[in-house]
Chain A
Amino acid sequence: MSTAALTETKSAPPVEKIKVKVDGREIEVPKTMPDPISGKPVPTTMIQACEIAKQEVPHYCYHPKLPVVGNCRMCLVEYGTPALGPDRKPVFNPDGTPKIAKSPRPAISCATPISPGMEIYTSTPGVKQMREGVLESLLINHPLDCTICDQAGECKLQEYSVDHGQSASRFVEAKVHKPKAVDLGPRIMLDAERCILCTRCIRFTKDIAGDDALGIINRGSFNTIATFPGMPFDNNYTLNTVDLCPVGALTSKDFRFKMRVWFLKETKSLCTSCGTGCNTVIGSREEKIQRYTPRENDAVNGPWMCDAGRLNYKWIGRDDRLKNVLVRGQKSTWTAALTEISEKLKNAPAGSVAIIASARQTNEELWLLSKLKAKLGAVSDSIARSGAEDKLLVSEDKNPNTNGARLTGICYTEMGINLVKIADGIAQGKIKTLIVFGENIIQRAVSNEKLRERETISEVVDEHGITAELLAKLDALIVSDILPNETTRLAHYLLPGCAHAEKRGTFTNVNGRVQKFMKAVEAPGDARAEWEFLHDLVFQVTGQNGFATMEGLFNTMAADVPAFKGLAWASLGDTGVTVEI
């Protein structure tokens, strides 16, 4: 995968650089670049050289992370190489510059390797005419569906037609019609008419997702993308083909006819469905999340993300979200509830408080909780969540911030080992106050007898003995969550929190990459970002202050937590920084 390719280039010895000219400007380009699939060095192509020179070459079938096929012909450029005399020695112009022998024919820049002294011409009249011709051919059988096409607004065919095409069509014959709204799989709808046969989707699913599900059937202008009859296109990465599709042929069933893309506000965010922490863009309109799309980060997810993570956004807009601050079931205000809680915590004897924080909280929130923990001498832990992993992106750890919980000191390397201690503490009456953040602890609670039985049989760590009966023994159960559950119903103090899309913060992924995410939509009702009210609470209990903003909070945390030493909110950038874990 791309991540493998990246690490390889880092460790490999520096590659030889060669000089080429792009539109008259000389640049230095590495002689080889890693192959997107195998990671082995392969000769640099003209389109890569043009990209380094920041000279855009329009293309459809070429994609930097996919194998090259060179079938769309959109990236045709003219080029020349230093001329050689009959003696195989370079020929020079009278002014001493090497004489360039221009190639009589153009070449596709995606598949032609560069050579020393090569000159690439991307904007000659000939190249412009070729682009116009290629676009005209592509548009011959392309329906003018833009009004009902989901891709409109982010369609490469639209964009290149405006930039490089003709303003009117000369084609008067009937267009070839192909099937529309073909059900390819559970998440994908195909409109065969719109397809320009670039085969990006075929290459992606074969070479990246490892599921050779798609192919081209029929002949000539009746060419159509299809699956084997009766075989659905249903691997966990199918929706990436929708992003890859330069036109509106492959559309997401989830996003189909939902919103025109030009209305979407795009916010840089992260996927929270597993520990990988894929970089995403949240598309939202008027405080409603419409879709997630992957954001390129070669250190984490490349340009891809899995379907499960991509579709895991609907819970954020659920109607039954927690919207009110509740004190013993009665509606209250933030000020009243926080004052009452901080009084309680301040007077609590050492060791009488326990904290169960979720590894779905951000680094900052977990750090603030660790400050409370230090002040109160509390026992703390998180709840592990595991599931199936795959070879590409999905991690076995289903918590987005397991390493954050470890590094801030909320839990030990093995998450969940303190839960027994907390359960015993409550049972013996030592622990009187329990603070629970973002976890429905009852859900995985089993009675003590059963737990003992189970621990001898298997190694289930995410089950524990904190049952509803135990919770009833507490003096104060302080719960913050986003959605209602059994634990929130038992809470004495219920503090409505925010989903990651409604606040800012950072997560530390399974590989120790600290990445930040931004706020896309407003939280419903009285719900407040956890770090905001935790900051108030920490200030009232410990007197520690100095971080009224997310930037200040992160920087204070970075100075305090050894693993985050030297980090600053601003230096994280959009793609994050890897720390030692």
Chain B
Amino acid sequence: MIVNRKPLTFWERLYLPAIVGGLKVTLKHAYATLFERKVVTMEYPEQKWAVPPDYRGAPYLVKDQEGHTKCVSCQLCEFVCPPKAIRITPPGTAGQPADRTNAEKMPAEFEINMLRCIFCGFCQEVCPEEAIFLQKDYSLVGSSRAEMIYNKEKLLALGGTHAGVQKWKLKLEEAHAQENFPVKP
């Protein structure tokens, strides 16, 4: 596509009026900052930015209201992750059983490479267990690449608690209720 530039007008070709116009903006902000205390920048590390509620920050694993791992190692997030930042080690036959009753399965290891993560939120969207959420952390630092691969322990510690429907627990309660006849719905 060819964009036709309009030739500059006489006023624009004078050059100085535009300089003066720019200086006017600068001086206006200088005056507001110095004499009216209207600050437009932020003293970043000391001052923190108010993160909007729907912000997509770092993905962390969450625990349920009883402090148990929600993730069941279904590996859908690993599958859907576009930059392949997630890596899950399933428990296997000999692995630890889930710490939640009735869930049968939880990951032996869950790693997110925060250097690879593009914060797209697919993992949160695909998760059938509401176990991973993009949270408000935006400033992730580390002194080595290895340090930026967050393991399960770290992700769970950072993720906090997300109270939700405890479906595996409810299922077990429903099953126990059926042990007595007549079955109550």
On whether the beta carbons of B174 and A177 are closer than 8 Å, the reply is: yes
On whether the beta carbons of A147 and B74 are closer than 8 Å, the reply is: yes
Contact among B79, B91, B171, B177 for A257, CB-based, below 8 A: B91
Q: Residue-by-residue, is A165-188 near B (CB-CB < 8 Å gives 1, otherwise 0)?
A: 000000001111100110000000
Distance to closest chain A CB from B170 (angstroms): 10
Contact among B90, B129, B171 for A147, CB-based, below 8 A: B129
On whether the beta carbons of A260 and B175 are closer than 8 Å, the reply is: no
Number of A interface residues in the complex (CB < 8 A): 22
Contact among B74, B95, B175, B177 for A152, CB-based, below 8 A: B74
Contact among A143, A260, A263 for B171, CB-based, below 8 A: A143
Q: Residue-by-residue, is A230-253 near B (CB-CB < 8 Å gives 1, otherwise 0)?
A: 000000000000000000000001
Contact among A174, A254, A260 for B75, CB-based, below 8 A: A260
Q: Residue-by-residue, is B142-185 near A (CB-CB < 8 Å gives 1, otherwise 0)?
A: 00000000000000000000000000000100110110000101
On whether the beta carbons of A148 and B178 are closer than 8 Å, the reply is: no
Contact among B79, B93, B177 for A262, CB-based, below 8 A: B79
Contacts of B185 in A (CB 8 A): 173-174
Question: CA of A177 to CA of B180 in the docked complex: distance in angstroms?
Answer: 12
Does B82 count as interface, using CB distance less than 8 angstroms?
no
On whether the beta carbons of A257 and B93 are closer than 8 Å, the reply is: yes
Distance to closest chain A CB from B10 (angstroms): 67
Question: CA of A181 to CA of B175 in the docked complex: distance in angstroms?
Answer: 14
Question: CA of A418 to CA of B185 in the docked complex: distance in angstroms?
Answer: 77
Q: Residue-by-residue, is A44-56 near B (CB-CB < 8 Å gives 1, otherwise 0)?
A: 0000000000000
Q: Residue-by-residue, is B52-86 near A (CB-CB < 8 Å gives 1, otherwise 0)?
A: 00000000000000000000111110110000000
Known contacts A147-B128, A147-B129, A254-B93, A175 near B174 by CB under 8 Å: yes
Known contacts A180-B104, A260-B79, A263-B79, A148 near B93 by CB under 8 Å: no
On whether the beta carbons of A257 and B90 are closer than 8 Å, the reply is: yes
Question: CA of A145 to CA of B24 in the docked complex: distance in angstroms?
Answer: 67
Does A259 count as interface, using CB distance less than 8 angstroms?
yes
Contacts of B178 in A (CB 8 A): 174, 176-177
Does B114 count as interface, using CB distance less than 8 angstroms?
no
Does A105 count as interface, using CB distance less than 8 angstroms?
no
Contacts of A260 in B (CB 8 A): 74-75, 79, 90
Considering only residues 7-66 of chain B, those with a C-beta below 8 Å from chain A are none
Does A256 count as interface, using CB distance less than 8 angstroms?
yes
On whether the beta carbons of A174 and B74 are closer than 8 Å, the reply is: no
Contacts of B74 in A (CB 8 A): 146-148, 152, 260
Does B103 count as interface, using CB distance less than 8 angstroms?
yes
Question: CA of A174 to CA of B183 in the docked complex: distance in angstroms?
Answer: 9
Contact among B78, B93, B102, B171 for A256, CB-based, below 8 A: B93
Question: CA of A148 to CA of B129 in the docked complex: distance in angstroms?
Answer: 10
Distance to closest chain B CB from A230 (angstroms): 23
Does A391 count as interface, using CB distance less than 8 angstroms?
no
Residues of A contacting B: mostly: loop
Question: CA of A259 to CA of B87 in the docked complex: distance in angstroms?
Answer: 12
Q: Residue-by-residue, is B120-142 near A (CB-CB < 8 Å gives 1, otherwise 0)?
A: 00000000110000000000000
Q: Residue-by-residue, is A122-160 near B (CB-CB < 8 Å gives 1, otherwise 0)?
A: 000000000000000000000100111000100000000
Question: CA of A257 to CA of B178 in the docked complex: distance in angstroms?
Answer: 28
Closest partner residue, chain B, to A189 (CB atom): B93
Question: CA of A143 to CA of B91 in the docked complex: distance in angstroms?
Answer: 22
On whether the beta carbons of A148 and B105 are closer than 8 Å, the reply is: yes
Contacts of B103 in A (CB 8 A): 148
Question: CA of A80 to CA of B43 in the docked complex: distance in angstroms?
Answer: 82
Contacts of A254 in B (CB 8 A): 93
Distance to closest chain A CB from B60 (angstroms): 19
Closest partner residue, chain B, to A179 (CB atom): B175
Does A219 count as interface, using CB distance less than 8 angstroms?
no
Does A258 count as interface, using CB distance less than 8 angstroms?
yes
Contacts of B76 in A (CB 8 A): 147
Question: CA of A143 to CA of B129 in the docked complex: distance in angstroms?
Answer: 15
Known contacts A148-B104, A177-B171, A258 near B75 by CB under 8 Å: no
Contacts of A173 in B (CB 8 A): 185
Contacts of A262 in B (CB 8 A): 79
Question: CA of A176 to CA of B183 in the docked complex: distance in angstroms?
Answer: 10
Question: CA of A214 to CA of B146 in the docked complex: distance in angstroms?
Answer: 51
On whether the beta carbons of B92 and A258 are closer than 8 Å, the reply is: yes
Question: CA of A180 to CA of B75 in the docked complex: distance in angstroms?
Answer: 22
On whether the beta carbons of A259 and B90 are closer than 8 Å, the reply is: yes
Question: CA of A204 to CA of B74 in the docked complex: distance in angstroms?
Answer: 30
Question: CA of A147 to CA of B102 in the docked complex: distance in angstroms?
Answer: 13
Distance to closest chain B CB from A571 (angstroms): 38
Closest partner residue, chain B, to A180 (CB atom): B104
Closest partner residue, chain B, to A152 (CB atom): B74
Distance to closest chain B CB from A121 (angstroms): 37
Question: CA of A478 to CA of B94 in the docked complex: distance in angstroms?
Answer: 40
Contacts of B105 in A (CB 8 A): 148, 257
Question: CA of A263 to CA of B81 in the docked complex: distance in angstroms?
Answer: 13
The interface centre, meaning the residue of A152, A174, A253, A257 with most chain B CB atoms within 10 A of its CB, is A257
On whether the beta carbons of B95 and A257 are closer than 8 Å, the reply is: yes
Known contacts A147-B72, A262-B79, A174 near B93 by CB under 8 Å: no
Distance to closest chain A CB from B131 (angstroms): 10
Contacts of A143 in B (CB 8 A): 171
Contacts of B91 in A (CB 8 A): 257
Question: CA of A146 to CA of B93 in the docked complex: distance in angstroms?
Answer: 18
Distance to closest chain B CB from A153 (angstroms): 10
Distance to closest chain B CB from A290 (angstroms): 10
Question: CA of A177 to CA of B104 in the docked complex: distance in angstroms?
Answer: 16
Distance to closest chain B CB from A464 (angstroms): 40
Distance to closest chain A CB from B176 (angstroms): 9
On whether the beta carbons of B175 and A263 are closer than 8 Å, the reply is: no
Distance to closest chain A CB from B95 (angstroms): 7
Contacts of B92 in A (CB 8 A): 256-258
Closest partner residue, chain A, to B172 (CB atom): A177
Contacts of B93 in A (CB 8 A): 253-258
Distance to closest chain A CB from B12 (angstroms): 61
On whether the beta carbons of A181 and B104 are closer than 8 Å, the reply is: yes
Question: CA of A255 to CA of B92 in the docked complex: distance in angstroms?
Answer: 7
On whether the beta carbons of B174 and A174 are closer than 8 Å, the reply is: yes
Question: CA of A367 to CA of B75 in the docked complex: distance in angstroms?
Answer: 46
Distance to closest chain A CB from B154 (angstroms): 23
Contacts of B129 in A (CB 8 A): 147
Closest partner residue, chain A, to B175 (CB atom): A177
* 9 pairs from A and B in contact (CB 8 Å cutoff): A147-B72, A147-B128, A174-B183, A175-B174, A177-B175, A257-B90, A257-B93, A257-B105, A260-B75
Q: Can you add 15 more A-B contacts, CB < 8 Å, to A148-B73, A148-B104, A257-B91?
A: A143-B171, A173-B185, A174-B178, A174-B185, A175-B174, A181-B104, A257-B90, A257-B92, A257-B104, A258-B90, A260-B74, A262-B79, A263-B75, A263-B78, A263-B79
Nearest first, the 4 closest Cβ-Cβ pairs linking A and B are: A177-B175, A147-B74, A148-B105, A260-B75
